[in-house]
Amino acid sequence: MIVCVAIVGHQNNPLYIQSFTEGDDALKLHHVVHCSLDVVDERVNNPKKSGPMLNETYLGLLYPTENYKVYGYLTNTKVKFILVTTDLDIKDADVRNFFRKFHAAYVDAVSNPFHVPGKKITSKTFAERISTIVKAFGLSSAG
């Protein structure tokens, strides 16, 4: 189950962060997302020299915490997408697919002429769309 998704701007500032838990760990998820930026930085600064990872937007599993797994995605404008999930075994393809949809939604949201680049995304439509994507991900990975 996806517990949190986040968009982080290129100054490492949160643009959008949404948790999907009933519990009380929203603040913890903030920490998890924030810490994952260290891994993104490391991956970006020391890119893997070999093979298909070059020029890849999908960063893969960033790090496992005690209860979560964190995945990352980096757009060409240095905007980071972070996904926090509780699923232990999760297919890479599913995550990639999720990020692709997430990215598309983000592009649509920032294409809004009333959106000021670099500011937080407050669009309700975007939030709804994200929660739909998250739900769909839960169904596909469960099934």
Partner 1 sequence: MEEYPDELRNPPVALISLVGCPEHHPAISSYLHSQQHPINVLALPDFSKVPVVLAKKVKDSGSEDPPGGILKRDWLLKHRTKIPALVAVLFSSLDVSGGPTQWLQVCSDLENLKAAIRPRNVKLVVVVVLQSSSAELHADGNNEDRMIALKKRAEVDSKYLLMYTPNDVSELKQSLDRLGNVFSELASAHYREEGRRIRTKVEKRGYNFPELHMRYCFKVAIYAEFRRDWNEALKFYEEAYRILRQMVGTKTRLPPIQRIVEINSVAEQLQFKISTLLLHGGKVLDAVQWFCQHNVAYRRLVRVTEAPYLHWEWMSRQFLVFAELLETSSATMQSISSFVVGGTDGTLTEWEFRPAYYYQLAATYLKKKQSSLEISLSMTDNSSEVDSSIDSVVPSTYVGQFARLLEQGDELSMQPLSDEQYVQYTLAEGKRFQDSYEIIALLKRAYESYSSLKAQRMGSTCGLEIAKEYFFLNNYVNTKQVCDDIITLYRQEGWVALIWEVLGYLRECSRKLGAVKSFIEYSLEMAALPVLPDTSITFLGFMESGPAGLPSLQQREHIQKEVMELFGKDSRDGLSAEKSTDLRLTEENPLNLEIDLVSPLRTVMLASVAFHEQMIKPSVSTLITLSLLSQLPLSIQIDKIDLQFNQPQCNFSIINKERYTSTTMISSVQKSQRMEKASSLVLTTNRWLRLTFEIKSEQSGKLECVSIIVKLGPHFSIICRAESPASMDDLPLWKFEDRVETFPTKDPTLALTGQKATQIEEPEPHVDLALVATGPALVGESFIVPVTISAKGHDVYSGELKINLVDVRGDGLFSPRETEASFLDGHHVELLGIAGAEQEGKSQGSYSNINRIQQSFGLVSIPNIKNGETWSCELEIKWHQPKPIMLFVSLGYSSQEKDSTSQKINIHKSLQIEGKIAVTINHRIMLPFRRDPLLLSMVKPFNDADQLVSLPLGESNVLIVSASNCTEIPIWVESLSIETDFISASSSCCIKPGSGPESTGSTLLVAEEEYKKVFTVKPEVDSAPLSLGIVCLRWRRDPGHHEPSTIVTTKHRLPHVNVEVPTLIVSSECPPYAVLGDPLTYFVKIQNQTPLLQELKVLLSDSQSFLMSGTHSGTVFVLPKSDHVLSYKVIPLSSGTQQLPKYSLTSSRYSAGFQPSSAASTIFVFPSKPLFKGANDRGKNLESVATI
Q: How many CB atoms lie within 10 A of CB 65?
A: 14
Least distance (Å) from partner 1 to the CB of residue 90?
10
Q: Which stretch binds partner 1 (CB under 8 A): 24-32, 74-82, 98-106, 132-140?
A: 24-32
CB of 7 to partner 1, least distance (A): 12
Of 2, 5, 62, 134, which one interacts with partner 1 (CB under 8 A)? Answer: 62
CA angle 37, 91, 20 (to 5 degrees): 55
Question: From residue 58, how far is each of 20, 55, 143 by CA, in Å?
Answer: 22, 9, 23
Q: Which two tokens stand for residue 141?
A: 């990975």
d(CA 7, CA 96): 16
Give least dist CB 65 to partner 1, A. 8
Residue ranges binding partner 1 (CB under 8 A): 9, 11-15, 17-19, 21-28, 30-31, 34-35, 37-39, 42-43, 46, 48-50, 60-64, 66, 88, 92, 115-116, 118-120, 122
